[in-house]
């Protein structure tokens, strides 16, 4: 199976910039806010980050189950219960 490749050099640059900005948002911003006395805001920010980060994982779980996979690792219709 062949690996996927980016279509252009601009796509690579935009992807790299997006990753760098995202990492800066997750790591540096909360540290700066907490250092400058924004502990209450920092708590709300981390809760929102956690909720928004878990939401796609929880939404994809029913899709995976609908494709014939069970949480225990078995498959439907092959002697397993479900």
Domain ranges of the chain: 39-67
Per-residue pLDDT band for 46 (boundaries 50, 70, 90) equals confident
pLDDT digits (tens, 9 = 90+) for 6-26: 788 998 898 888 888 887 777
Q: Work out the angle at residue 59's Cα, subtended by the Cα atoms of residues 64 and 78, and round it to the nearest 5 degrees.
A: 20
Torsions phi, psi for 66 (to 5 deg): -70, -15
> Is 49 within 8 Å of 26 (Cβ atoms)?
yes
Q: In this model, does residue 81 exceed pLDDT 60? A: no
């Amino acid at each position: 199976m062949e690996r996927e490749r980016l279509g252009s050099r601009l796509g690579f640059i935009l992807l790299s910039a997006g990753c760098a900005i995202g990492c800066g948002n997750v790591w540096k911003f909360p540290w700066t806010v907490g250092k400058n006395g924004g502990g209450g805001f920092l708590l709300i920010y981390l809760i929102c980050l956690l909720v928004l980060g878990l939401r796609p994982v929880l939404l994809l779980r029913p899709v995976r189950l609908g494709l014939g996979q069970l949480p225990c690792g078995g498959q439907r219709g092959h002697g397993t219960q479900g």
